[in-house]
Structure 1
Amino acid sequence: VACIYKINFYISSSVNGTREPDGVTFFILQGLSSLGDRQMILFVILLLGYIITQGGNSMIIFLVQNKALHSPMYFFLANLSFVDMVYTTTTIPKMLVGFLSDVSTISVPGCFLQMFFFIQLGITSRGILTAMAYDRYLAICHPLHYTSIMTQHIQLLLIAGAWAFGTFCTLPANLITWHQPYCGPNVVKHGWGDPSSVRRLACADTSVDNTVSLSLALVALLTTGVLILTSYVLIGISVSRMSVAQRLKAFGTCVSHLTVVSISYTAASFVYISYRSPPRDVRIIVAVLYAALTPFLNPVIYSLRNKELQESIRRTLVRFLFLMNSCFRK
C-alpha cells in the first residue's frame, strides 16, 4: 500500500508540476498508457518481434562459427547481429513489462544507463555497417590485395573503432544530461529513457545539453553516412568498367548491405521527422519501430540474399532433424 501511495504521489506531483527538494529518485515511463486495452495488441506484436529478432541474430552468430563462413564479411555480420541483440534488449523488455503493469518505473541511474546503451549501440551498429562498406570496397575495387589488407588484425581494429566511435558520440551528452538537477516532475513521456523526453524534466537550463547532443548526433550520422556513400561511389565507378557478368556478381555481394543501410537511415529520418509531430503516441510508435525494425530485418535480409548462409542454414537444419530423429528412435 505504501508503495502504491508513493507512486501515486509522484504521479500527482508530476501532473501538478510540484517539485521535490531532494530530487527525484526514479522516473515514471508513461509509454503508450493512453491506448488503454489496445496496448495488449502492441504487446503481442512487440513480443513476437523481439523473440524472432533474438532468434534470428543468434542463428547468424551460431552459423558464422562454421569454417565455411570465416570470411571478414561474416565476421562483421556476426558482430552486427550481436550489437542488434543487445540494442533491442536495452529497451524492448522494459517496454513489454510496462504494457503489463499499471505504472512502469525506472531508477534515475537505470534510466541514464538505458539511454547511454541505446544510443551508443545504435551508433556502433552504423560504425559496423561502415566497416562492412569498406570491406565491400576492398573486395570489389582491390580484389588482388584484399586478403593482405583485410587481415584479422584490421578486422578487430575496425570493430574496436566502431565501439569507440559510438562511445565518443554518446558519453559527453549523456554525462551532461545526467548531472542536471531533477527535482520534479518525474514522468517521462516515452516508452524508455529517451534523451529529449528526460531532458525536458531537468529543472535547469538545458541549451548546452541540446547543442552537444545535436552536434554529436550529426557527427555520428554524417561521418558514417558519408563514408558509406563514398565507398559505394567508388564501387560504382569500379563496377562501371566491368563486364555484365562481373557487374551482376559485384551487385550480388552488395545488395544485402545496401538494403540494410537504406532501411536504417530511412528509419532514422522518420524518427527525426516524428519528433516534429505533435501527437506523442505517434512519436513513441515510430521510435519503437525504429528500435525493432532493423535488428528484426537484418537476419532476414542476409539469409534471403546470401547463398552461402542459406546453405549453412540448410545443413544445420538437416543435422538438427537427424539428431531429433535419432533421439525419438531411442
Structure 2
Amino acid sequence: MTALVFFKLLAIFIAVGIGWFVGRMRWLGEATEAGSAGGNDPARVLSNAAFYIFVPALLFRTTARLDLAQLPWLTLAGFFIPVLILLLLVYGVQRWRGAFEAEPARPSVQAITTTFGNTLQIGVPLAAGVFGEAGLAIHITVISLHALTLLTVLTLLVELDLARARPDAHGLLATLRSTVRNTVIHPVVLPVLAGMGWHVTGLPLPLVLDEVLQMLGTAVVPLCLTLIGMSLAYYGWPKTWRRVMGLVACKLLVLPLLVLVIGHWGLGLNGTPLAVIVMAAALPTGSNALIFAQRYRTQEAETTAAIVASTLLFVATAPIWLALLSQL
C-alpha cells in the first residue's frame, strides 16, 4: 500500500464523514415518508441529482470521446468477462433464492454491489502509484468502459424484472416493450447511446459543451462520497451484517480471483496488464452502487454499509493481491 493510496483512502473517509455529520445534524432537512407530499429525504434528493444530471454528463462525454480502435481488447476481455460472469451469477442466485418476489430490484442491486469497483477515487492513484504511467494508461481504458458496460447490463436486468413484477403486465410482448422503453429512456443508457451517436459522426465536441460536461462530470466524485455519509446518517447500519460481508467478500476476494484465473490461465495475460486488471477487480465497491440502489429504492442501507466496509477492508486485502501478483 503506497502512501499516495493511503492518503486517498483517508481523504475518502473524511469526505464520507462530512456527509455523515451533515446528515446527522439534519442541516438539509428531515427524512419524510415515501408516500407523503414531497416525500424524499435529502440523501435521495442528492442521489437523484447525481443520477439525472451529473452521471449522464460524465457518461455522454466519456462515450463521445472514446476511441474504440485504440483499446487493448484482450486485456479488457480479461477484466470484463469475469466481471460479467460474477454479475450474472450473483443476479441468478438472488433470483433463484426468491429475492425477486420480495423486492424486484434486489438481484440487480446485489449484483452491482459485488462488481462495481471504485475505479476512480482509489483505482487511479493505486494504478499510478504502483504501476506507473503504463499501468495508469491500462487502468484508464478499463474506466472508459466500466460504468458504460456494467450500468447498461444492470439497467436492462432491473427494468426487465420491474416490468415482470408490474400487476398490469400482459404477456411477453408487453413486458419486452416496457423493458426496452424504460431501458433506453433512462438516465444511464440514453446518454451512452447519445454519446455513441455523436462519436459516429466524427465531430469533436464544441468547446463550450465539452466544458459544461466536464464541469458537471467532476461533481460526481465529491457528491457521491458525501452521499455515502448522508445515507449512513439517514438509513443507519443494516440490522444484520452477514449478507453485507458476503457481498464484500465477493467484491474483494472472489472477483479478483476470477480475473486472475481467467486473465492469466485463460487468456494468457502476464506482467503489468494482468496486474492492473486484477487490482482493478480488487477495488472496493464504488459509490455508483449506492446511486443505483437509491434509484430503485432497494437495499440502500446494505449497499452503503458494503461500500464503507469494503473500503476499510481494502487496506488489508490490497497488499495480499499485490504480493500474489509479484510471484507470477
TM exceeding 0.5:
no
**Greater CA radius of gyration, 1 or 2?**
1
TM-score by length of 1: 0.31
